[in-house]
Structure 1
């Protein structure tokens, strides 16, 4: 039996929406008329030659593991088998390369003879992170540039599951599968008794070098004083979180990380070389170590400082990348020699010390000098730093400095500062996005989808080497559309924020309009609230927003982390939360009988329940932290968070870690 004309799903973007289309053979004919976008959660339609996997409720293909010794190829087979079965109820058999099978077609995973021959004929070679998919006649072929170190399989930084990415690409394109949040319940799989893959040949790899969404779950578990997760449960949750991240192609083909680089220097050199450290402004009463030993700044014009940085680099084997990010917080050097390298010259020393000056020029000059010396010893070395706080903005043109080629900067921007991103590009920087936006909101459904999504889209089109988000705080029930937006734009950069929202809503079937109203409710609130996403300088887009009013009227902290927790008690009254609950009630009515969609709506509802419970607990704790009402509420919050953590609706231990760090009354 050869190839057949068959109706197969295919996602296509039409006019900013994910629409249904009809087309001929891929790459051979144009698109025909669009159909209505929001029906059930299913993929649009293409007609053309296809390889059937399932037809009439019967298996029409086997899954052939062509590399039986590869754990990643074996895992790819399991992913395909599981999700096809979830869609159709049909379990495709998995066989080895020499096994016979009765089905007329095959999905062949890995470097088997047919794949190698087809790749040679097409002139395809695979570089780092590439994966190749091909369908013709009776075979679907998937080959990836896998890398599996065999350790810490839950860390996507350490492995490249490119064959799995290829399988997930097929499921995305031809079945309409969407990975909304971690765990099997977060994978939206359209139901279909007919599954096929249209004829095609495609070579893909992630567009950006480095894609990191940090997982805060382990940190919360280790630091919350009332952590409860057993190791096996923690392992499961981490594995599901990393599985979600990998489905969105998180990983790296060039590790880019710029941690604060000098946190041990005071301990190492404070007694023997105190002159290596930042000079405080005279007459102000400051002394080193300031503000604490781990956060002291360097006197970067002292020649021995650069000598020691190079010595440390050499002692570590002169690696290909080296971080020189200044330590966090305040205490920048006010020595005359260093201030002479600033632009503008003559800034107030106290402003410089407290980090409210503009210090980018001094650091660019310092980095350029370091890199010139390092490249004399290793020409391919790259210097890494954050562009952060008082050195977040690029030097102005009149400063007359450019960033040396080989410097990669992690820009920590407000999501409305597109000109700031472009300014670094204009000064010659290769840079990556390193925001702290997701620390904002605490448990609340803070959803700046267009704002953040638009900025991510902009950076991808303007010299971005990738991103490193700090961090996924785990408020999945309330903020999962926010996480999904960034992840989806990364794995499918041809989409727009509107496209991502529309395909997200499509997974809610008949309740799509109601869930759209729910997202719009919270996006409108987010705009009116205007949280300080310009971290760490408490910058807001609207100084008269609800958040800034709460700072003035109720004394909440202006910062992104502590203030977000305190704001729960003031900004999320019933006048805000109750309409959201009513919208979800309408969504349940609209989704009656669709258990998959009802489960997704319940997940969103879990986020609202946790929000109102922690809000009430905070209010009672501030009124009477020793009272029985507070103790009862705190006990109920703990039990709720234990339940919701088990299904990713909230990472309760992370929430407690942040609340306890800022002395917020949510636990006994």
Structure 2
């Protein structure tokens, strides 16, 4: 049957006459009171958004709402319009005039409307605009109290109810940040793949995590590309234009050895012109999205020793190297932030007025310039410290935040591009409060985007960190305690015990700050790639006992609540796995290992058996762990086999 045109017209008339907003009942006493209506030819985003609404309402109430095309008449009293449609337009919502990723959420006496700017791509792709999907998640958050603790069904917390009500509202909501990104951490590869996921388990983990990230509204309003920009330039241009590249103290231009890394001669105006010219040549003439010129230095310190580059350098701050260890690449380096600020400004001044130049505040150009140079909002800087790992002392934490404020004071825009979430291996390494404080400071000081590298996905041991990182993208003003109380509340009667458990580990992490630094330095372990060298030192066997007792208390508190008990079991699995990894670290660490082949095989077999038994549980990203362990442990050739084939 055709959609009831009379009803649609009366609905539009009522809205035009100022029809009062009111709560709308969608489910009453476990019976459906509404249907979902989508356009006859909806976007894939709108259809997926409708399906997400159905899934969560059913999980809450046991009632599965129907999805109908607009041309159908369901005979229902109430309708939930999802995505652009004739009824949505008649209600005065023009999605084409909404900003990128923006949605309208309106609840009237007559209907619920959730519609926004959508792209035509796959709903789970980060580059697909998904305003309507964000609107559905906003409603689920507000009115159903849904919380996505970690990927998968167990991590999806939906309070049970027999009645579902959409509360009156009339809001238009846009993301606070034009890009919200937690890198998924699904691309880690190891020379010892048997330590990681089997193929199907890896697929499941990646898919569930992808859904989780979209539920926390990870995505962006328009395409933006950046990264170490000049990695292949020497190979292509070194012979013809050696003057574009760093001058070494030896008088040679380019890398100091064949295949070595190199920085650019950023004072060279010809290099600046060439960067703009190459960007123009690649940019489509009919492009409608903002243009971004990638001017991020290669993954190396700024090393050019030519007189022109050095003439651009400002005076090094007194605290320039204060918070870097003596073994850091930064030791003895020259402060070069001013030359890079002038480099980005020089490129921007030659580019079209609507272009934005992207650079990184990194290595020896992480601190803000000291010469007084003024930048502008057409320069976007990625805040990318090569130190500042959590937990920090109060002094270091204040210093790290000051660097953000000082760069912002130049007039440039900033985005968060830290590597700090790579820290901690799979240990219960908790720093949620300091992370939240830095995030809040960045928001207050004008943060426009994020790109955190990377979401390593150890959900059962580092859940508070990861939930806080995701949740603040949606509620950036929420306090750390407010965010964490959401997380703990999902454990029902076990909430207080779980809160005590993670407070215990956050205290342990904070108290271990100096020991962590000293251990990493003495064992020559990296905070992001060879942490498993040090796991046994930082997490000795006796440290796990108090935490185990707290989780046993949580089990008792959960009682007959099966869902809460399952979530506590999830944490127990994570802790058991962390203890096993620390024990294997003690035997196999490259820093101290004297294990025999037989001992190596026994230790690794035990670890792999645990991972195979629990690889579908979602407790952690085993491929990430295999990558770290490959760089940390003495391993056998046997573990080079595919995990599906390992005996």
* TM-score, length of structure 1 as denominator length: 0.83
1:181 aligns with 2:154: no
Could you say if the C-alpha distance between residues 504 and 229 of structure 1 is closer, same or farther in structure 2, counting changes exceeding 3 Å? Answer: closer
Match of 2:478 in 1: 495
Hey, what does 1:77 align to over in structure 2? 50
After superposition, give the CA deviation of every residue in 1:456-511 in whole Å (9 maximum; x if it has no partner). Answer: 11111211111100000121211122111021111122322121011111111111
Partner of 1:593: 560
Q: Residue 370 in 1 paired to residue 347 in 2?
A: yes
The alpha carbon displacement at 1:592 in A equals: 1.0
* 1:102-121 deviations in Å (ceiling 9; x for gaps): 5432222122333223235x
Change (3 A) 1:274 1:87: same
Measured after TM superposition, the shift of residue 646 of structure 1 is 2.3
Are 1:444 and 2:444 matched, yes or no? no
| Structure 1 outlier segments of 4+, above 6 Å | 345-348, 351-355
Rounded to whole Å, the distance in 1 between the matches of 2:224 and 2:26 is 40
Matches within 5 A, 1:456-605: 456-530=439-513, 545-551=514-520, 555-557=522-524, 559-562=526-529, 564-605=531-572
Partner of 2:573: 606
Q: Quick check: 1:352–1:358 contact (8 Å CA) kept in 2?
A: no
Q: Report the counterpart of residue 91 of structure 2 in structure 1.
A: 118
> Does structure 1 residue 639 correspond to structure 2 residue 613?
no
2:87 paired with 1:87 = no
Alignment match, 2:235: 267
Name the counterpart of 1:435: 418
Which range moves more in the overlay, 504-513 or 411-420?
411-420
Q: Which residue of 2 aligns with 1:58?
A: 31
Counterparts of 1:339-354 in structure 2, within 5 Å, are 339-344=310-315
Q: Say which of 288, 291, 297 aligns to 1:326.
A: 297
For 1:353 and 1:649, locate their aligned partners in 2 and report how far apart those are by CA, in whole Å: 36
Partner of 1:394: 368
CA distance in 1, matches of 2:446, 2:90: 36
SS at match of 2:23: strand
Selected match of 2:212 from 225, 244, 254? 244
Q: Which residue of 626, 629, 643 maps to 2:599?
A: 629
Instruction: Name the CA distance, whole Å, in 2 between partners of 1:588 and 1:499.
Output: 24
Q: Distance in 1 between matches of 2:312 and 2:204?
A: 52
Once the two structures are TM-superposed, the CA of residue 261 in structure 1 deviates from its matched residue by: 0.5
- Helix, strand or coil: the match of 1:108? strand
Please state how far the C-alpha of 1:363 moved relative to its aligned partner.
0.7
For 1:133-148, list aligned pairs within 5 A.
Answer: 133-148=105-120
Which of residues 338, 341, 345 in structure 2 aligns to 1:361? 338
| 1:178-216 superposed Cα distances (whole Å, 9 cap, x missing partner) | 011112221111111121111111111211111111011
Q: Separation in 1 of the partners of 2:447 and 2:191?
A: 33
Which stretch of the first structure deviates more once superposed, 269-278 or 207-216? 269-278
Give the paired residue count. Answer: 591
Aligned mates of 1:392, 1:254 — CA distance in 2: 27
Distance in 2, Cα, partners of 1:652 & 1:322: 36
Which string of whole-angstrom CA distances, capped at 9 and with x for unpartnered residues, describes residues 546-574 of structure 1?
2133246xx22264224532221101113
- After TM superposition, the structure 1 stretch with the greater mean CA deviation from structure 2, 288-297 or 452-461, is 288-297
In the TM superposition, residue 312 of structure 1 has moved relative to its aligned partner by 2.4
Judged with a 3 Å threshold, the aligned counterparts in structure 2 of structure 1 residues 273 and 352 are, in CA distance, closer, same or farther, namely farther
Q: C-alpha separation between the residues in 2 aligned to 1:358 and 1:578?
A: 47
Measure the CA separation in 1 of the matches of 2:300 and 2:635. Answer: 26
| 2:287 maps to 1:314 | no
Q: Distance in 2 between matches of 1:346 and 1:216?
A: 35
Q: Following the alignment from structure 2 to structure 1, what is the Cα–Cα distance between the partners of residues 634 and 342?
A: 42
Aligned residues of 2:431 and 2:506 also touching (Cα < 8 A): yes
Residue 301 of structure 1 and its aligned partner are, at CA, apart by 2.5
CA contact (8 A) 1:261 1:323 kept: yes
Q: Quick one: structure 1 residues 110 and 363, their matched pair in 2 at CA, closer, same or farther if it must change by over 3 Å?
A: same
The corresponding residue for 1:206 is 175
SS of equivalent residue, structure 1 residue 471: coil
C-alpha separation in 1, matches of 2:442 and 2:569: 34
Residues 134 and 142, structure 1, Cα contact 8 Å, conserved in 2: yes
CA distance in 1, matches of 2:301, 2:402: 25
2:268 matches 1:302: yes
Per-residue CA distance 1:598-656 (angstroms, 9 max, x = gap): 12112222221221111111212244443423312211212323344423211111111
Match of 1:616 in 2: 583
CA contact (8 A) 1:129 1:144 kept: yes
Matches within 5 A, 1:148-187: 148-150=120-122, 154-156=124-126, 158-187=127-156
Kindly indicate whether residue 70 of structure 2 is the aligned counterpart of residue 97 of structure 1: yes
Contact kept, 8 Å, 1:625 with 1:665, in 2: the verdict is no
Residues 353 and 370 of structure 1, relative CA distance in 2, 3 Å threshold: farther
The unaligned stretches of length 5 or more in structure 2 are 1-20, 321-327, 391-396, 640-647
3-state secondary structure, aligned to 1:64: strand
Local SS of the residue matching 1:159:
coil
Distance 1:636 1:173 in 2: 45
> 1:426 is matched with which residue: 409, 412, 436?
409
CA 1:227–1:519 in 2, change beyond 3 Å: closer, same or farther?
Answer: closer
Structure 1 counterpart of 2:358? 384
Q: What SS class does the counterpart of residue 220 from structure 1 fall into?
A: coil
Q: 1:276 aligns with which of 225, 240, 244?
A: 244
Q: Give the match's secondary structure for 1:62.
A: strand
Q: Structure 1, unaligned stretches of length 5 or more?
A: 1-47, 531-544
* Deviation, structure 1 residue 355: 7.0
Partner secondary structure for residue 340 of structure 1: helix
The farther-off stretch of 618-627 and 319-328 is 618-627
